[in-house]
Amino acid sequence: MNIPSTPVKKYTKSKLKSVSKPSITRLKRDLKSPISISNKLAWKPITIPPEFTLVIDTREQQPMFRKPPKGLEIVDKKLDNGDYSVLGFEDKIFIERKKLSDLLSYIGRERKVTVGKLTRIIDYEFKGLIIECDEASLFAPQIYSKVTKEMVEGFLLSFEIRFGGHYKCSKYRSECERWILNHAVYAYNRLRLVQ
**55-78: per-residue pLDDT in tens?**
999 999 889 998 888 889 999 999
CATH 3.40.50.10130 in the chain, residue ranges: 53-194
Find the mean pLDDT for residues 109-119.
91
pLDDT tens per residue across span 6-38: 554 554 455 444 444 555 555 455 555 555 444
Which of 41-50, 94-103, 160-169, 175-184 is predicted least confidently? 41-50
Q: What backbone torsions phi and psi does residue 95 show, to the nearest 5 degrees?
A: -130, 120
3-state secondary structure of 52: coil
- What confidence score (pLDDT) does residue 61 get? 87
Does the reported pTM lie above 0.85? no
The reported pLDDT for the residue numbered 1 is 52
Report the C-alpha gap between 127 and 82 in whole angstroms: 9
Report the chain's mean pLDDT, rounded to a whole number. 83
pLDDT of residue 17: 47
**Cα distance between residue 73 and residue 180, in whole Å:** 14
Give the mean model confidence (pLDDT) for residues 128-133: 96
Mean of pLDDT values over 138-161? 90
- From CA 96, how far away is CA 167, in angstroms rounded? 9
Does domain 53-194 bear CATH number 2.60.120.1130? Answer: no
What DSSP designation does 169 have? E
Helix spans in the chain (H): 13-32, 34-40, 100-107, 111-120, 135-138, 149-161, 173-194
Cα–Cα distance measured from residue 180 to residue 129, given in angstroms and rounded to the nearest whole number: 9
| Phi, psi angle pair for 152, to nearest 5° | -65, -50
Going by pLDDT thresholds of 50, 70 and 90, the confidence category of residue 39 is low
Q: Is the pLDDT of residue 104 over 50?
A: yes
| Distance (Å, whole) CA 142 – CA 138 | 9
Tell me the residue length of the chain: 195
